[in-house]
Structures are given as C-alpha cells and as structure tokens.
Amino acid sequence: MIVEVVVYNIASALNAQTGGADRIELCDNPGEGGTTPSAGTIEVVRKNLSIDVYVMIRPRGGDFLYSRYEFHAMKRDIAMAQRLSADGVVLGILKPDGTLDVDRCGELIAFARPMKVTCHRAFDMTRDPFETLEACIDAGFDRILTSGGHATAAEGVSKIAELVRQAQGRITIMPGSGINEQTVAAVVRGTGAKEIHFSAVGSQESGMIYRNERIAGMGDDRGREFMLRTVDPDRVREIRRIATEAAR
C-alpha cells in the first residue's frame, strides 16, 4: 500500500515523513483546495525529505478552466519544480463542456517529463468519469486522484472500484478525500486500490506570547493565526496501518 499525504507547509511535510508516508503532495492554500506552493517551500521540503515530493500545479482556486496566461504560468511552475528536483507534479485542465482538455494536459505532461504526473480532483468535476479515465490515459497521466465524483471517497467507493476495473493497470487510481481512521479500511477493501491519499490533519499551538486580540484572524477566522495547521504523524502511522491490514 502506497500512502500519499497532502501537506500545506514545511512542518507538515516533515511530519508526514515521520509518520511513514511514501510520498507527499505539496500545496499551498488549503482553503482553496490547494494551489502551487512557493519556490522556497519546495526547495526546503525537497532538501529535507527523502520520500517523493509531488508539487501541486494550480495557479488559483476555483474552477479548472484556465486562460492562456494561467496556462503559461503552469508551465513556468512545472519548470520550477523540475529545477528544484521534485519527483512529480499534480495538475488538471478542463474544457467548458466538462471534458478533460487532453491537448493542453498532454503538453504540460510532456513538458514535465521525466517527472511523474497525477491528475488531481479536476477529474471529479468532469461530466463522465469513465470517458475521462480514457482521456487521462491518452494525455499521458500516470495516476488519477479521485473521490469517485462524490464529496468523499467513502461515498464514492463503488464508482472508484469501477474505475480501478476499467483502468486494468494502465493508469493508477488513487482514492482521496475524507479518508481517515474510520473510513480507510472500507475504501481499500471496496475499491481494490493500491494507493491512498489523505491529510491526517493535526494542529499546533502558536509560539506567540503576545497576541493582539483586537484583530480577528488577519482576514481569517478569529484566532486561527494562533493555531497552525499541520500533519499528525501518529495519524499517518495509524491510517497506514489500517490500510495495510485491509489490503491483505
């Protein structure tokens, strides 16, 4: 069982490795569902982790319909990830009709080689997942991250299982979204997937002693600037243990 943990900062990346992750998906902006992290963050994470580092290539939150300017930015970010020795990138572009933009995805994938490339959950926003699976193969993706078109992978188990069967080893299907200690066994058993993706979120109290309580969260929820999002290595370890047992 290969375990991928999504992380949004340096501390989380280190904790994911400590907990036994095989790979991380490195992002910024959890509130937007993940965007491209800074070059500095990628460099520091890559230098301090021995596991695979996949970098999110997403220029903004919102939909996956990108302008030519955003497409150019994605290409530049892929080049940055290459220079910083990332092992892979994670991306996806859709057309207005809800199909995968095979041509532009294929161009980015060719540009990214020899890095591996995952299609992120833009896949779940397409009109037909089975059609899109074949399109992902045509574009050259190595892997698809999916919840089966549902809010969580646990809800999409039957659809993910169908995708695994259709893929027949031509592309890896990796369940993700809402996978935790309570749901991972059912997802692994129900889908037959060999890789899983989860967050194992934890929190860390800020080290700040002085706190200006008159300011509400610097534009975020009140008090959140004093509670740092991280990854709980014990949760990574436990989810991995359950998943491994379920896969036997």
Count Cβ atoms below 10 Å from residue 69 Cβ, excluding itself. 9
Per-residue pLDDT at 222: 52
Specify the number of domains making up the chain: 1
CATH, residue 179: 3.20.20.380
Stretches where the chain sits below pLDDT 70 are 216-223
Residue 147: both structure tokens together: 């919840």
Closest CA to 89 of 78, 99, 75: 78
pLDDT computed for residue 106 by the predictor? 98
What mean pLDDT value characterizes the chain?
A: 95
Task: Return the DSSP state at 229.
Answer: E
Cβ(195)–Cβ(240) under 8 Å?
no
- How far is 248 from 230, CA to CA, in rounded Å? 30
Is the Cα dihedral 47, 48, 51, 57 positive or negative? negative
pLDDT in tens, 140-177: 999 999 999 999 999 999 999 999 999 999 999 999 99
Contact 171, 142 (CB under 8 A): yes
Residues listed for the chain: 248
Q: Which domain holds residue 61?
A: 2-247
